[in-house]
Amino acid sequence: MYLSGLRLSNYKSFKEADFKFSKITLLLGPNSGGKTSVLASILSCLQSPQFPAYFLPNGSLVETGDFREIVKSHRVASNISIDLNFTNKWAKVSTAPVKLGGVYERDAKTSMPRMVSASVKNKDIAWSISKAKDKYTLKWSYKPLGASSNFVKKFPEMARAFESVFYAAAQIKTAVPEPGAKVKKISVASVAKEAEQHMVGDVPSEGEHQASNLSTIFDFDPKEQRISNFWALTALKASKDIVSDFLKTFVYIGSYRIPPQRTYYHLVGPDLKVGVCGQNAIEQVLAWENAKSDKLPQLVKSLKSIGLAASIKANKLAGGRFEVTVKSLGSSVSSSIVDVGFGINQFLPVLVAELQTKDGSTVAVSQPETHLHPSVQAEVASHFVKNVKDRGFCYLVETHSEYLINRIRRHVVAGDLAPEDVAVYYLEQSNSGGVIHDITFEKTGRIVGAPPGFFTTYQVDVMNIAIGR
């Protein structure tokens, strides 16, 4: 599942903001233009358990302060609203889109956002939560799957599981068959029909549930609430985990990444996921080398193709410590990662995180060009394009790099990307707040929809050189 859209109201400098994401989305603009605010709104949702019922501005991915610091113009009497859209339209198997969002007010006791209303909608189920005084009301509706053939198509593994159960039951009924006797196998279609009769039915379901505590709004007995539809309850329970499921295929590397060290301890544990600041990247390299994982050769291949290094290796030292050495391109000598410049260490977390996650993931990066040579910045863009094509990745990139931008344009012109595969937003400030410019990179190389500030920022020197100024 991919993030396909974001809508903001009264968030940070934005009165109203609407973003439609694509396979590669670029957030451009001057400092303090609003790029980081866009990312912060998304990260706040993703670090919030059971969003949109909850919205946490401070957590493991980002810290943005209390309600006053995130509401537009610090007007605490106003409400904030945030909507996220998810889609699978770029995946090999497409499914229905999902929209979820909420409206939040300032909690006088904590000064943090508190839900006023929230909703989730997709093809099969929709639910909404509203707050009135001290009570929360959950309303939901569900459309049944329909014919048994749809059941088999949507849930093939479950259908096969039911088939196995019924087949086992048939064997028991026949007790001990005569030698050579055959037990009739029940078909998947007949099992699906049986399952639908008992658990799905043909009538759409809807219901309402009240609770005094938001944390228990989904905890209710389906029989007491007259929910006779098994799939309705299953879908309702699962829908509140949409964000946590997406987070399993989401990577975010922030603009600040921890500097390299001369030595490292070898960490042992099941979770070495690269952190926002690049934590665990080196430790994961050590683990891959120790396990002789094929991930390490893949990492070296990426380092070479981008133009960062010819090899990376961990050398064991005394006292349980390791030294990480890197061989620069064109060099025959390996040196400590501390002595080969910051560029390799700064982009290494992105490469490691990409290898940690599975195909079809979303990678968000702030300032990927940090400490990188211009030619490497351009190759980073080509690396992103390759992963979009080969691994089904989507990228959300906050950048100031003209080299990265122009390489993306070049890939559009070359046909490696369609114009609609790239979403470009230029953000800047005005007296009334954040302003968003939706830009298109056309197949011809033209840039459409860019404000004057775009050319001032990214192309003014080239233009002036061309006209002899």
Residues in the chain: 469
Residue 176 pLDDT > 70 = no
pLDDT value of position 202: 45
Task: Give the dihedral of Cα atoms 4, 8, 14, 17; nearest 10 deg.
Answer: 50
Task: Give the mean pLDDT of 86-103.
Answer: 80
Q: Which two tokens stand for residue 377?
A: 């910045």
Task: Give the mean pLDDT of 260-266.
Answer: 87
The Cα–Cα gap between 372 and 350 comes to 13
End-to-end CA distance of the chain: 49
pLDDT value of position 27: 97
Residue 416 pLDDT > 90 = yes
Structure confidence at residue 152 as a pLDDT band (50, 70, 90): low
User: What is the helix (H) or strand (E) element at residue 161, kind and residue range?
Assistant: helix 156-173
Q: Which whole-number Å values give the CA distances from 254 to 42, 210, 360, 378, 403, in the listed order?
A: 13, 40, 21, 19, 20
Task: Give the mean pLDDT of 430-434.
Answer: 92
Burial class (CB in 10 A: 0-12, 13-18, 19+), 134: exposed
Q: Which whole-number Å values give the CA distances from 8 to 11, 40, 75, 142, in the listed order?
A: 6, 12, 16, 27
What average pLDDT does the structure give for the chain?
A: 85
Instruction: Indicate the pTM of the whole model.
Output: 0.84
Q: Domain extents for the chain?
A: 1-123+360-440, 148-199, 258-356
CATH topology of domain 1-123+360-440: Rossmann fold (3.40.50)
Give residue-wise pLDDT tens across range 177-234. Answer: 556 666 555 555 565 555 555 454 445 577 787 888 887 777 655 554 444 455 566 6
- β-strands 394-398, 14-20: how paired? unpaired
Task: Give the mean pLDDT of 110-117.
Answer: 95
pLDDT value of position 228: 46
Task: Give the mean pLDDT of 1-14.
Answer: 95
- What are residue 325's phi and psi, to 5 degrees? -115, 150
105: number of Cβ within 10 Å: 18
